[in-house]
Structure 1
Amino acid sequence: MDGNRIEALDVLRGVAIAGTLGTNIWIFTSPGGPADLGGALWQAGTAQALLTFLTNGKFLALLTLLFGVGLELQYRAARRRGLRWPGPYLWRAALLFVEGLLHYVLVFEYDVLMGYALTAVVVAYLIGRSDRVVTAWMTAVGSLFVLAVGAGTAALLASGASPAGGVAGTLFTEGSYLDQVASRIEFAWAYRAEAVLIVPLGIVLFLLGARLVRAGVFDGTERGAALRRRLMVAGLGAGLPLNLLTTLAGPAWFLVDRYLLPPLVALGLLALITSLVRRDAAPGPLRRGLSNVGRTALSCYVFQNVVASALCYGWGLGLAARLDRLRPWWVPVAWLVICALFMALSTLWLRRFERGPMEAAWQWAYRLPRRQARTPARSGSA
């Protein structure tokens, strides 16, 4: 940690954004589009199962942990400045919800920002509570979450069914952009069902991310290094093999494979990447590119989904249908090209601007109420 800045955070955010696309790219490149969530991740074939295993759920969990880390750092900054908490943070959460809503309606059915905004409101009131209160919340919400996942998995195993997707048919291969927007509005009840799981899982992972900061996971001390080693053993030594088993076990294990084991793997990834960053005194092109993506994470998250939509859907280039016979091999290539594109674009953008385009707009909206509140005072004094 350098002052109040954690060096590894930008790289971690960049990895999380690229990894999230690594899951979503299978949905974009499926002819069924986002409507075929289950089918896109579990089509027949060991090769695709192994490729989806690399990203499914793990980087979503990592991104969720990082939101918790960020919330803890904002809480500390507010306390240092003597500001009321949660105070303006609730406005931040409201803006995040609006951003997520627009992203959902205009771009992508499985947006996570709306769920994060709701989670942030709950956690904002818990972040400064005692360890006992926080532990009680994590235990209660986590237990209910595990029971829900267990019950859902048991139901899938008993019925032999696969997790249902959204709207099937030719909407994403032949439908227009406005047809897809209308579908997101009409079938919001189906597409937003994942948020039911994201919010309770997010509460646990937000609080866990905050606790990791307090435990010193990003510190250069021996205590921090020891904690990272334990997380790598648990997440990569135990969680990763178990996650591979659930991936190969079939679609009935979808809930465990996407929501239960990936957070454990994400803890190992967080520890591994942080350790690598701390050891790398001379960052290379890959680390710099990931760091720049992390600094423009919101912009990259939204715009990479826009680019993937334009490449894959029928209203764009229609590659999902045209290259379907080449699945699964063309999908990682598409992911790599989009990631390389946004590493380059974010690097070029940050040479001229301090923030990404979405970040700058978001910052303007965040400061707007305070500017409006000061305007009458200046006018009155004049």
Structure 2
Amino acid sequence: MMKENKIIPTPSQRMTVIDALRGFALLGVILMHMLDHFGYLFSNVQHQLSPTMWDTVIQWFTDRMIKGKFISIFSFLFGLSFYIQMDRASKKGIDFRGRFLWRMALLFVIGLIGMCFTYVDILTIYAVFGVVLVFLFPLRNWVLMLIVSLLLVGVPSLFLIGFDNIVIGQPAITAISVVSEQLPADNTIESVTFFQTAKENLTIKNSNKLKYQFLYSDVGYLVLALFIFGFIVGRLRFFEQVNIRKKRNVRLFLLFLLATFALLVIIKLIGPQEHVDLLKVRMEGGEVPLIALVMSALNNLSTVSMSGMWAMGFISLYQVEGVRKYLDILTPYGRMGLTNYEIQNVIGAILFSGWGFGSVFGTKGAAVLFVLGLLIYALQVIISQYWVKRFLYGPLEWLWRSGTYLKWQPFKKKQNREKSTVVVE
């Protein structure tokens, strides 16, 4: 009996979900950064009026559902991209590790330029973690998962705090704060020119950011854990089967949903009276109750779990034929993820900096900034749609790729090129 003809999507077609997911992650990134004013806090900007009901609702939603979750997905996808690049090179008999190290050096430079606009730019840290991935590349999956687990439960904190400073008993400092992705407010130097701002971002603010992420909180180690986990998922070839394992996708979504709910219940049952301001303790020193470290680990796990819930929910919807055509509008945006991420930062600097319109937008409430973030994102999506029809890469992607191979890469698409599919009898 003759088999029915069917069209099998090529690997590049199957992997469009990764680009779409990256585009989705960048939606959460811009919304989070908008409400955080892209890190700009100036004493010459008047305080906004009392927040409205919508401001309160938006702020609550952002803090609980977005902050830390979408940047986690973005970080995970970077580790996944590392595996994809190494795997493709390996299939061609090429050891890509040396080239990747050079690629990370270029990314570091791009990150430094981006940091001139806003110190919340994370690409320099990504570049360093990319180098770490190269050295972790030979390790087996179980070893990598062990490293991920140790990072997630806060083992680095134990050494930074010091075992002698960890006590069993009631907190020495009572508070109800949980370390989040947001950086602590510092005494911002009023910078009225771009060059003054760039100098401050690259020095004072960058130093504070690094201290916060690696000394005073677990944020940096959480990002590294997600990098490594993305690499592991790539090794397991999860995304190569994502279009045919639809039930598995839904089951994983439900698993992450259940895990998130369970973790939040446990955190709630422990109670806010058991929280401790770890950020303050780690900055000032002092004894840290063991329960506070447990709470910190639980919050890290809940962040990762909710990130997985968002990601698998998106992936599951992407596999629904009627929904995919709408979510696919994010694919060009994600394909130009580097360019769009840096454009977000440039726009944010223009809106909130002292040399930009910080005196205007710095006083706006959460609701206004949330809507403005959606509008900027929508405009970027439209521009990305038109761009990928004419060009093979985004501007920064093209420069990064050309620099990687030390040769100008093709940029413009050839006209009338038909999409390729594989037909199997």
Flag whether TM exceeds 0.5 (same fold).
yes
Partner-residue secondary structure (3-state), 1:351 = helix
Name which of 290, 308, 315 aligns with 1:267.
Answer: 308
The aligned runs of 1:1-382 (5 Å cut-off) are 2-5=9-12, 6-28=15-37, 32=41, 46-47=56-57, 48-104=59-115, 106-145=116-155, 147=157, 158=173, 160=175, 165-169=184-188, 171=190, 175-187=192-204, 188-196=206-214, 197-220=218-241, 224-239=245-260, 242=263, 252=277, 259-280=300-321, 283-284=324-325, 286-318=326-358, 323-324=363-364, 327-368=365-406
Structure 2 CA distance for aligned equivalents of residues 264 and 24 of structure 1: 21
Check whether the contact 1:10–1:292 (CA below 8 A) recurs between aligned residues.
yes
For residues 243-292 of structure 1, give each alpha carbon's deviation from its aligned partner in whole angstroms, at most 9, with x where no partner exists: 699799699488679854222111122212112112236744x5243111
Partner-residue secondary structure (3-state), 2:79 = helix
Over 3 Å counting, the alpha-carbon distance change for 1:244 and 1:193 in structure 2 is: farther
Over 3 Å counting, the alpha-carbon distance change for 1:8 and 1:179 in structure 2 is: same
Letter paired with 1:184 = N
For residues 334-364 of structure 1, give each alpha carbon's deviation from its aligned partner in whole angstroms, at most 9, with x where no partner exists: 1111101111111122222111111111111
Structure 2 CA distance for aligned equivalents of residues 108 and 257 of structure 1: 30
In the superposition, the TM-score normalised over structure 1's length comes to 0.79
Check whether the contact 2:175–2:277 (CA below 8 A) recurs between aligned residues.
yes
Larger Rg: 2
Letter paired with 2:73 = L
For residues 9-66 of structure 1, give each alpha carbon's deviation from its aligned partner in whole angstroms, at most 9, with x where no partner exists: 1110101111111211111178726xxxxxxxxxx98522233323100011101111
For residues 187-230 of structure 1, give each alpha carbon's deviation from its aligned partner in whole angstroms, at most 9, with x where no partner exists: 13212334424543233212222332344533547984454234
Letter paired with 2:108 = F
Over 3 Å counting, the alpha-carbon distance change for 1:347 and 1:157 in structure 2 is: farther
Check whether the contact 1:156–1:252 (CA below 8 A) recurs between aligned residues.
no
Deviates more, 1:123-132 or 1:223-232: 223-232
Find the counterpart in structure 2 of residue 37 from structure 1. none
Where structure 2 has 5 or more consecutive residues not aligned to the other structure, the ranges are: 1-7, 43-52, 280-295, 410-425
Check whether the contact 2:37–2:352 (CA below 8 A) recurs between aligned residues.
yes
Cα offset for 1:129?
Answer: 2.7
Structure 1 CA distance for aligned equivalents of residues 398 and 277 of structure 2: 43
Deviates more, 1:81-90 or 1:139-148: 139-148
Letter paired with 1:314 = G
Check whether the contact 2:174–2:276 (CA below 8 A) recurs between aligned residues.
no
Structure 1 CA distance for aligned equivalents of residues 39 and 128 of structure 2: 30
Partner-residue secondary structure (3-state), 2:98 = coil
In the superposition, the TM-score normalised over structure 2's length comes to 0.72
The percentage of counterpart residues that share the same residue type is: 22
For residues 74-130 of structure 1, give each alpha carbon's deviation from its aligned partner in whole angstroms, at most 9, with x where no partner exists: 1211210111242211111111122112211x1111221111111111222323432
Find the counterpart in structure 2 of residue 41 from structure 1. none
Higher relative contact order structure (alpha carbons within 8 Å, sequence separation ≥ 6): 2
Check whether the contact 2:89–2:95 (CA below 8 A) recurs between aligned residues.
yes
Structure 1 CA distance for aligned equivalents of residues 223 and 331 of structure 2: 24
Where structure 1 has 5 or more consecutive residues not aligned to the other structure, the ranges are: 34-43, 372-382
Find the counterpart in structure 1 of residue 292 from structure 2. none
How many pairs were matched up? Answer: 359
